[in-house]
Structure formats: C-alpha cells, structure tokens
Chain A
C-alpha cells in the first residue's frame, strides 16, 4: 500500500492503494465517486473515461501510481468544469441516454471535444466519440446532443 494525492474536481484526496490499482477503482471505491463506470477493464469501451487536464483518458487501465497531484482530474460529478453543464443539459434536452451506464464517459468525451472545437463537424464528432461504446445504441442522439450543445456555446 502507498499513499497517493489525487486532485479530483478541484478537491485534493489522499488515498491508500496498491500502486497497480487502476485509477477507476480508486475513484469509485476509495474516493467514493460512483459516476465513473466500469465496462471492460481493458480500455476498449471507454465508459470509464474521465478528463486529465481536460483531455479524455480511460481510467480502467491507468495505474494510480502514474497519477500525480498536479494532474487536474475531472469526473462527471464536477459542478463547474468548463461547459460540462451545457453538455449535460443538451443530453437531457435530446433525451440521449437509455440505460445511461456509458453516458458519463460519453459526456466527458464530448465536453473535451467541444472545449477544443466548439463547432465540430460530423467527422470531428465521429473521430472523438468513437472511443466510447454504447450497447443501447444512443449514437444518433449523442450526435444530436453535441450539435445542440455546440449551438448553445456559439449562440
């Protein structure tokens, strides 16, 4: 066991964990933020996606030992991350989720895309969002939600 300092949603957490514990499980079970989900454990599905300094990263294969306190981690529970609320509201407006399990990963990936590119094309959306699987098949609505959020950001 070692002690790690994690900067999650602008709050510093100190956790005890084995160095090889994936960040996903540290965030879920040690920090207690359950909005980040477990899907495949092998970085294939992206439902565990969180943001590292604003960029999407799959937390299920990233050992906690590789994370430093300087890295600003953002999870779906953040209340003030740039444009997260705009994207969440767009998701609600177009009724994107079905079961909802993958949507934290989808939303954070979309927030990162829109923060880099506030007017993404269909191709841009596809490139960014292909990282996150959805078995319910909410992709058409995810596209619509990103465009809705983009319009909102550029209004």
Chain B
C-alpha cells in the first residue's frame, strides 16, 4: 500500500489538507518507500519507518502515546522514531474503541503487547528464513533483527515485505517486564508539539467545502418537544439557510430543539434570539429543594438493593452506642473546554463521513446507520482530538444531531453547542444523598458500619430498565476492603426528569467523599488517628503500603505549627489512590497549602502522563469540593456558564506532589483514580482545623482559599 493511500485510510491526511495545516506533528516521511501492513495497528515502510495506530480517542489522558508505547515495546522499535496516527472507528479492525472507566490500558494491555510481539516474531521469522537459520538464533532490537553472535543484521524495512506474507503465529511470547525499554519510562508525547502550535485538529476545527453550521435551541427543561416555532420569520433573516425541528430523544424521552442552519456559526447562533418556540411534553418541574426532598423521602424505606459483609450477631449484640450522618452531593456538569460539536456529511452517493470528538465512535457509527439507513460499512468515522471529555463524549447526542441535519440537507453539517447549551442539557454527574450509621460497643470498638446511597441510577434511565437491580458500580469508591463488622452498602434508585451520565470517576466521585468522610467521623468518635484507623481495618498489602507511603510523604505525624492534615483512600478502576490535604487556618476558614498524592497503578506505561492525570484529577476534585455544583431552579440549570459554574483557576491551585508506586502488578487505570480522594481529604483536613464536619458539597459553609 502506498503511504498516501494508507494515510487516507487512517483518516488524517485528508483533514490536514482541508485545514491547510500540517496535522502530521513529528511524522517522519520516507521518500519512495512502500508502506506494508503488518497488522491493523502496525505499518512499516520499506525504508524501515514504523507507523503505529492509536485506536482510542485522545482527550488528554495520553493514550495517543501510551498505546503505541505498549505495541512498540514488544515490537522492539525506538519509540522516538515512530509515527503515530489516530485510527478510524472500526470495530472489525480495532475491537472496542470506547473510552470510559479508565480502561484503555488496563483492559488492552495484554492484547496490545501481543500485537507488537506478533510483529516482532514475524520479522524475526523473515530474517531466519533469509539466513536459513532457526529463530532462536535471531533477536530483534531497535528496528532490526540480528543473528546472535555475529554482526549480521537486517532492518525491519528490509524484512517487512517478507514478514507480511508469513502466517501469523497463534501464540506469542511476551517480554519479561525486567527487559522493558519503553514501558515505565517518562516519554514525550507526540500530540503535544501539535497542541502547543495550535495544529492539533479538534472536532470544532473541522472545515469542509459547502459545510453548514447548525446552532440548536434545545428544550431548556432538559426534556421536552417542540410543538411549533416561528419558522418563516427565522428563515427570512439574512444568512439563514434553513431551520428544522430536531426530533431527538434522550433515554427514550423527547429532548428536542429547533436547529438553525447557516453558512457561518455566529449567524445561526444569533438568529436563535429571534426564535419563538412553543414547547410541549415538558417534564414535571424540579428544583434543588424538590430533588433532595425526593431523596430524603426514601431514607426511611427499604433500599432497592444492598450488599453486606462480616455479619456478626454477637458483635452487634454488644452495640451500645451509634453515630449517624447524612451527606448531600450536587449534580455536576462535565464542562470540557471544547463544547459539544460534531461534523457529519451524508453524501448523495449514500455514504457517510463524520468527524467526531467522541469517546465512542463505534456507537456514533451505529446511531448514524439507524438515522440514515446507510450500512455501517459505508460510514466512515474520523475521530478528532477531543478538547476534554470526562465521560460526556461517551454519549453520542451531538453526532446524532449532526447526522439528522446532514441527512435532511445532504450537505456537510457541523453542529456547535454554545457553553450554555453544553451546561444546560447535561447529562450530569448524579446528585446523591447518603445516610450513614455506625455502632460501637462499650469499649468503643466498631460494631457496625452502614451506608445507604439514594440517587438516580445511570442504567435505570432507559425504558424497560430493571429498577430492582443496582450494579456494583453504584457503590464504587466506598472501600469494600475495610473489614468492618456488620458492613453494609445499600442503594435506592430514584426516578427524576434530570438526565445523568458517567462523569470522571462516576459514583466514586461522591461515594469516596461521603464514605471517607464518615470513616473519619468514626475514627474521631473512637479517638483514633485517621490513618491508624484505616490501617487497622484493611488487610490488602497494596492498600496498607500505599497508606504508609502517603503517611511518610505528607509528614502526617509531624505537621508544622498551624497545619492540619486530612487523609482519604480509594481503590477504584484497578488502582489504589491515597491523598493527604494540608490546610492552615486562615481567618474563620482555611487555606489549602498542599495536596500529597500516592498512586499504585501497577505496571506503568508513561509515568509522566500518570503524574499529569493525578495532578489534573486533584484540581478537578478541588473544583467539585468547593466550587462546583449544578443548581436546578424551575426545571432549568441556573448556572450555565463559568461566571456561575466556577472552575478552579491557577491562582487557587495549591502545591501538588505525586508519587507513583513501583511494582509489576497488572496496569490499573489512571484517568479517574486521582479524583475520588481529593474532596474527602480536604473535608477531613477542614474538620481538624475548624472542628466543622462538612457533609454537603460544594463546601460553602467555610471559606476556602
């Protein structure tokens, strides 16, 4: 295959040309070389230039570098000399390409290594065939195969045509971790030079000839249908090409809007101010008080489901004292800096091409097939860079809108959401009420610990969902490894007309805050040190090692004068995560001095990316702890832009120190585990500094700087 054809298949060069910029980053081009496909992920040209595809969407978490690193390690090539290209969304070729649950590396690790190892073995076999020797006499390193004990060497470029014609081995031997040359070493990311020069192509940057821009006035009530609107008046405005009712659903309920299409975004956006829409099918109107009121109604009722461990009637019979507490957490918006957008082109020849900043291109491909009636094979999904996602872009509503509008107009359509559109529509991180109770015997030993989470359940939003079952994910972030006697985690599902969705660390984002705060309340009630209490109640050696490490790093046992420290722990998304927040008193409130973090995510791929993910998670955690919270008033979002929905800024960012544990356990997630411990560690530090136990997010009861 010629390089040019291959790049077009990979869906990048065409876009680069259209944008008149070089989206190629560091890419090495070899003249007059032919690219040979060694697998769907690995291409080597006859000059030896290696290209590895990243098949997962890149939204900041670093897969663009990490996935090729895993393949390159086993392939035995220099990671600094390879080209990296983003693949199309194509399940047949690349398997599951969705991103969520911090799974890209931990679920793909072995398969990706096998892909690299298969390439290595084919290249070694090709060399052995040429030398007429056994493969055991050959070894691969740095893009070439050597014959052991001699200086004879063949480059991958010289071997690749022969290698590509060999039968693919059924089983491949993987390298020992002690022999890793790439994995576990900080490696410069190839997407970063593009991003500092403004050359990285995000969804919003896609530009096609004859393209229309769409701006959509969606129902302000999160759900609802359009009864009628002033179509003629809007279409008479200068620059307006067409308008239509976007008859879209969310979770089986209408979430419609009026789309205005123009040759440029601002003309379409501005015309929305002239719209007069009659809405129908508006759901029952809720506000914050009514939402939490609905939760509180459930707390005395039997939970939908529960899990119990360490049931022990004898211990329970000695219970003479209890403490209880209620915690409330608000909805949150994902608010990636790039608002939702999508570009879809339903062509007259009954094929579709789409350019999507999506966390799940395959899902979008399926939806576009349904909308257009065009078979998946004729739908090409280019995955652009994503300007953040945090879970939001795993829902494909933006792609569905663009598909409808392009299907109607048969022109390329880019739907662009405003910031307010992005915040108002949700779906949101679920709001929660948690009810805790702990019991003690006369010696103040813990005799029971129970938590009851009352919230909407993400999986219960689809029509026909089984409302009697609650998945284990609902309890994630509450550490089930604590060996508390009579330990219960219970859950109650609540149905509300507010759409919710996966948000960085999902239920862990609230569960860890409420559980680790109440664990601190229990420790305090027993007169025990927060870390001693946790260590006493956990057995997993990785957990205790982690806690002992954060204890040392944070100088836990020797705080400076006027310093107060709070700790929290999570075992989520395959990783162990502990943090200590250090505060000092500042007037009636506190000032955050430092956040210490330790992460055990097993075998590391790119440690620099891990550190970055933990830093970013902490900053998002502080935002959610004391700035965030989507407020709903009269059925609508009350804080839809960054003046009222504030994010942490640089001047509010404390010192952060991240330590990564070194071991060769299987890789764990890194995009989410850094988030959950931050809010509770802050709350626990505030309690020590002020005596005030914060049981409601965002933390507005105390001044935090």
Contact = CB atoms under 8 A, between A and B. Distances in A.
Interface of A: 18, 20-22, 25, 28-30, 32-42, 44-45, 47, 75-77, 88, 91-92, 95-104, 107, 125-127, 129-130, 132-143
Closest 7 interchain pairs by CB?
A35-B198, A137-B619, A101-B387, A100-B195, A98-B60, A99-B60, A76-B198
Contacts of B642: 40, 42, 44-45, 133
Contacts of B213: 29
Contact of B387 (A37, A40, A96, A107): A37
B616 interface: yes
B419 interface: yes
B151 interface: no
A40 B641 contact: yes
B522 interface: no
Contacts of A18: 239, 266-267
B202 A101 contact: yes
A61 to B, nearest CB: 12
Nearest to A88: B196
B213 to A, nearest CB: 8
B233 to A, nearest CB: 18
Contacts of A137: 615-620, 648, 653
Contact of A100 (B19, B200, B204, B265): B200
Contacts of B21: 34
B196 A136 contact: no
Nearest to A20: B270
B588 interface: no
Contacts of A139: 619, 648-650, 653
11 contacts: A25-B264, A38-B204, A88-B197, A96-B192, A98-B60, A101-B337, A101-B387, A126-B650, A137-B615, A140-B653, A141-B615
Main secondary structure of the interface of A (DSSP, over half): loop
Nearest to A103: B195
Given A34-B21, A95-B188, A135-B620, A101 B650 contact: no
The size bracket of the interface on B is 35 or more
B198 A77 contact: yes
A85 to B, nearest CB: 9
Nearest to B643: A44
B388 interface: yes
Contacts of A96: 192, 196
Contacts, number: 176
A138 B616 contact: yes
Contacts of A47: 337
B61 A98 contact: yes
Contact of B207 (A34, A88, A125): A34
B337 A102 contact: yes
Given A34-B207, A127-B651, A97 B619 contact: no
Most B C-beta atoms less than 10 A away, residue of A30, A34, A75, A107: A34
Interface string B203-233: 0110100000100000000000000000000
Given A34-B198, A101-B202, A101-B336, A130 B192 contact: no
Nearest to B341: A38
Given A32-B207, A133-B649, A140-B653, A92 B617 contact: no
Contacts of A20: 270
B196 A107 contact: yes
B337 A98 contact: no
B431 interface: no
Given A29-B265, A40-B642, A126-B650, A97 B192 contact: yes
A135 B61 CA distance: 12
Nearest to A47: B337
B192 A35 contact: no
Contact of A22 (B266, B336, B385): B266
Contacts of B265: 25, 29
A97 B650 contact: no
Interface in B148-206: 188-189, 191-202, 204-205
A72 B337 CA distance: 27
A46 to B, nearest CB: 9
A26 B339 CA distance: 18
A28 B416 CA distance: 13
B385 A99 contact: yes
